[in-house]
Protein backbone atom coordinates (compact mmCIF):
# COMPACT_ATOMS: atom_id res chain seq x y z
CA UNK A 1 0.00 0.00 0.00
CA UNK A 2 2.71 2.48 0.96
CA UNK A 3 4.68 1.58 -2.17
CA UNK A 4 1.64 2.36 -4.34
CA UNK A 5 1.34 5.82 -2.79
CA UNK A 6 5.08 6.37 -3.20
CA UNK A 7 5.05 5.33 -6.87
CA UNK A 8 1.99 7.48 -7.57
CA UNK A 9 3.78 10.58 -6.25
CA UNK A 10 7.08 9.78 -7.97
CA UNK A 11 7.57 12.01 -11.00
CA UNK A 12 10.08 11.97 -13.83
CA UNK A 13 11.67 15.00 -12.19
CA UNK A 14 12.18 13.08 -8.93
CA UNK A 15 13.70 10.12 -10.76
CA UNK A 16 15.97 12.43 -12.76
CA UNK A 17 17.28 14.21 -9.67
CA UNK A 18 17.82 10.94 -7.81
CA UNK A 19 19.77 9.61 -10.81
CA UNK A 20 21.75 12.86 -11.02
CA UNK A 21 22.78 12.63 -7.38
CA UNK A 22 23.63 8.93 -7.72
CA UNK A 23 25.99 9.86 -10.57
CA UNK A 24 27.43 12.84 -8.66
CA UNK A 25 28.17 10.61 -5.67
CA UNK A 26 29.83 8.07 -7.98
CA UNK A 27 31.90 10.80 -9.66
CA UNK A 28 32.84 12.17 -6.25
CA UNK A 29 34.41 8.80 -5.43
CA UNK A 30 37.07 9.41 -8.08
CA UNK A 31 37.99 12.90 -6.99
CA UNK A 32 40.11 11.89 -4.03
CA UNK A 33 43.11 12.66 -1.88
CA UNK A 34 44.68 9.36 -0.74
CA UNK A 35 46.18 10.64 2.52
CA UNK A 36 44.75 8.02 4.88
CA UNK A 37 43.41 4.48 4.94
CA UNK A 38 39.97 5.69 3.85
CA UNK A 39 40.43 8.03 0.85
CA UNK A 40 39.10 11.58 1.19
CA UNK A 41 36.62 12.10 -1.64
CA UNK A 42 33.96 14.58 -2.75
CA UNK A 43 31.29 11.99 -2.06
CA UNK A 44 30.37 13.48 1.29
CA UNK A 45 29.74 16.85 -0.37
CA UNK A 46 27.28 15.26 -2.78
CA UNK A 47 25.67 13.10 -0.09
CA UNK A 48 24.84 16.05 2.18
CA UNK A 49 23.82 18.15 -0.83
CA UNK A 50 21.45 15.33 -1.84
CA UNK A 51 19.95 15.44 1.63
CA UNK A 52 19.44 19.19 1.38
CA UNK A 53 17.97 19.13 -2.12
CA UNK A 54 16.10 15.83 -2.29
CA UNK A 55 14.93 15.50 1.30
CA UNK A 56 14.57 12.56 3.65
CA UNK A 57 12.83 10.24 1.18
CA UNK A 58 14.56 10.74 -2.16
CA UNK A 59 18.14 11.37 -0.95
CA UNK A 60 18.56 7.95 0.70
CA UNK A 61 17.11 6.32 -2.42
CA UNK A 62 19.70 8.11 -4.58
CA UNK A 63 22.45 6.87 -2.25
CA UNK A 64 21.06 3.32 -2.23
CA UNK A 65 21.01 3.29 -6.04
CA UNK A 66 24.68 4.30 -6.04
CA UNK A 67 25.55 1.56 -3.52
CA UNK A 68 23.57 -1.12 -5.39
CA UNK A 69 25.26 -0.20 -8.69
CA UNK A 70 28.61 -0.66 -6.98
CA UNK A 71 27.65 -3.93 -5.31
CA UNK A 72 26.52 -5.49 -8.60
CA UNK A 73 30.03 -4.96 -9.91
CA UNK A 74 30.36 -1.58 -11.55
CA UNK A 75 33.51 0.15 -10.25
CA UNK A 76 31.80 3.22 -8.80
CA UNK A 77 33.31 3.01 -5.31
CA UNK A 78 36.57 4.80 -4.56
CA UNK A 79 38.53 1.54 -4.82
CA UNK A 80 36.37 -0.58 -7.15
CA UNK A 81 33.10 -2.42 -6.78
CA UNK A 82 31.46 -5.83 -6.49
CA UNK A 83 29.67 -7.75 -3.75
CA UNK A 84 32.88 -8.40 -1.81
CA UNK A 85 33.08 -4.67 -1.15
CA UNK A 86 30.94 -5.23 1.94
CA UNK A 87 34.09 -6.66 3.56
CA UNK A 88 36.09 -3.49 2.91
CA UNK A 89 36.58 -1.55 6.13
CA UNK A 90 35.41 1.63 4.36
CA UNK A 91 32.01 0.16 3.41
CA UNK A 92 30.52 1.46 6.65
CA UNK A 93 30.90 4.99 5.34
CA UNK A 94 28.71 4.03 2.37
CA UNK A 95 26.09 2.68 4.76
CA UNK A 96 26.44 5.93 6.69
CA UNK A 97 25.76 7.86 3.48
CA UNK A 98 22.22 6.45 3.42
CA UNK A 99 21.45 7.44 7.00
CA UNK A 100 23.41 10.70 6.83
CA UNK A 101 21.48 11.86 3.76
CA UNK A 102 18.25 10.93 5.53
CA UNK A 103 19.25 12.92 8.62
CA UNK A 104 20.13 15.98 6.54
CA UNK A 105 16.88 15.70 4.58
CA UNK A 106 14.84 15.26 7.75
CA UNK A 107 16.40 18.21 9.60
CA UNK A 108 16.50 20.71 6.72
CA UNK A 109 13.67 23.21 6.69
CA UNK A 110 14.72 26.74 5.74
CA UNK A 111 16.58 26.97 2.45
CA UNK A 112 17.77 30.52 3.04
CA UNK A 113 19.44 29.84 6.40
CA UNK A 114 23.01 28.86 5.43
CA UNK A 115 24.19 28.62 9.05
CA UNK A 116 21.37 26.28 10.07
CA UNK A 117 21.90 24.13 6.98
CA UNK A 118 25.64 24.02 7.72
CA UNK A 119 24.87 22.69 11.21
CA UNK A 120 22.39 20.18 9.74
CA UNK A 121 25.07 18.97 7.32
CA UNK A 122 27.52 18.57 10.21
CA UNK A 123 24.95 16.42 12.03
CA UNK A 124 24.56 14.35 8.86
CA UNK A 125 28.34 13.95 8.72
CA UNK A 126 28.36 12.75 12.32
CA UNK A 127 25.84 10.07 11.35
CA UNK A 128 28.13 9.03 8.49
CA UNK A 129 31.11 8.90 10.87
CA UNK A 130 29.21 6.76 13.39
CA UNK A 131 28.49 4.12 10.76
CA UNK A 132 31.87 4.45 9.04
CA UNK A 133 34.03 4.25 12.14
CA UNK A 134 31.88 1.58 13.76
CA UNK A 135 31.94 -0.63 10.66
CA UNK A 136 35.68 -0.09 10.16
CA UNK A 137 36.46 -1.21 13.71
CA UNK A 138 34.02 -4.14 13.43
CA UNK A 139 35.41 -5.44 10.11
CA UNK A 140 39.00 -4.97 11.21
CA UNK A 141 38.33 -6.98 14.37
CA UNK A 142 36.03 -9.71 13.03
CA UNK A 143 37.41 -10.17 9.52
CA UNK A 144 41.09 -9.27 9.98
CA UNK A 145 41.55 -9.86 13.73
CA UNK A 146 42.97 -6.38 14.32
CA UNK A 147 42.30 -4.17 17.32
CA UNK A 148 42.99 -0.44 17.32
CA UNK A 149 43.48 1.98 20.18
CA UNK A 150 40.75 4.57 20.62
CA UNK A 151 43.24 7.41 20.00
CA UNK A 152 44.23 5.86 16.66
CA UNK A 153 40.60 5.46 15.64
CA UNK A 154 39.76 9.02 16.67
CA UNK A 155 42.68 10.50 14.77
CA UNK A 156 42.81 8.41 11.58
CA UNK A 157 39.08 7.80 11.09
CA UNK A 158 37.65 11.11 12.28
CA UNK A 159 40.01 14.03 12.85
CA UNK A 160 41.92 13.58 9.58
CA UNK A 161 38.67 14.02 7.63
CA UNK A 162 37.07 16.71 9.75
CA UNK A 163 38.48 19.81 7.97
CA UNK A 164 37.53 18.52 4.51
CA UNK A 165 34.09 17.43 5.64
CA UNK A 166 33.43 20.77 7.36
CA UNK A 167 34.36 22.46 4.08
CA UNK A 168 32.00 20.08 2.23
CA UNK A 169 29.21 21.00 4.64
CA UNK A 170 29.82 24.70 4.10
CA UNK A 171 29.94 24.37 0.30
CA UNK A 172 26.79 22.22 0.27
CA UNK A 173 24.96 24.80 2.40
CA UNK A 174 25.96 27.60 0.04
CA UNK A 175 25.06 25.60 -3.06
CA UNK A 176 21.69 24.71 -1.62
CA UNK A 177 20.88 28.37 -1.14
CA UNK A 178 22.27 29.45 -4.53
CA UNK A 179 20.70 26.76 -6.70
CA UNK A 180 16.96 27.23 -6.21
CA UNK A 181 16.06 25.76 -9.59
CA UNK A 182 17.19 22.29 -8.58
CA UNK A 183 14.88 22.21 -5.59
CA UNK A 184 12.12 19.67 -5.93
CA UNK A 185 9.07 19.20 -3.78
CA UNK A 186 10.43 17.37 -0.79
CA UNK A 187 8.52 14.58 0.94
CA UNK A 188 7.59 15.48 4.52
CATH number at residue 46: 1.10.1760.20
Say if 1 falls within a structural domain: no
Quote the pLDDT of residue 43: 94
Quote the pLDDT of residue 179: 82
Say if 6 falls within a structural domain: no
**How many folded domains does the chain comprise?**
1
Distance in angstroms (rounded) separating the CA atoms of residues 25 and 22: 5
Quote the pLDDT of residue 112: 85
Q: State the residue range of the domain holding 120.
A: 12-182
Quote the pLDDT of residue 29: 92
Quote the pLDDT of residue 44: 95
Closest CA to 123 of 80, 75, 77, 173: 173
Say if 169 falls within a structural domain: yes
Contact 124, 97 (CB under 8 A): no
Q: What is the pLDDT of residues 134-171, one digit of tens each?
A: 999 999 999 999 999 999 999 988 898 888 899 999 99
Q: Report CA torsion sign: 63, 102, 167, 163.
A: negative
Say if 188 falls within a structural domain: no
Low-confidence ranges of the chain (pLDDT < 50): 188
Quote the pLDDT of residue 2: 55
Burial of 100 (0-12, 13-18, 19+ CB in 10 A): buried
Quote the pLDDT of residue 106: 97
Quote the pLDDT of residue 102: 98
Say if 4 falls within a structural domain: no
Say if 126 falls within a structural domain: yes
Say if 25 falls within a structural domain: yes
Q: What are φ and ψ of residue 160, in 5° steps?
A: -60, -35
Amino acid sequence: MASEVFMKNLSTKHISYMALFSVLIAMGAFIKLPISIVPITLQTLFVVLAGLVLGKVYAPIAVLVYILVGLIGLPVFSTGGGPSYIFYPSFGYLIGFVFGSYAVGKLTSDKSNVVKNFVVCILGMLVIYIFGVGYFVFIQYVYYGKVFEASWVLYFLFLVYLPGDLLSCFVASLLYKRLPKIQIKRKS
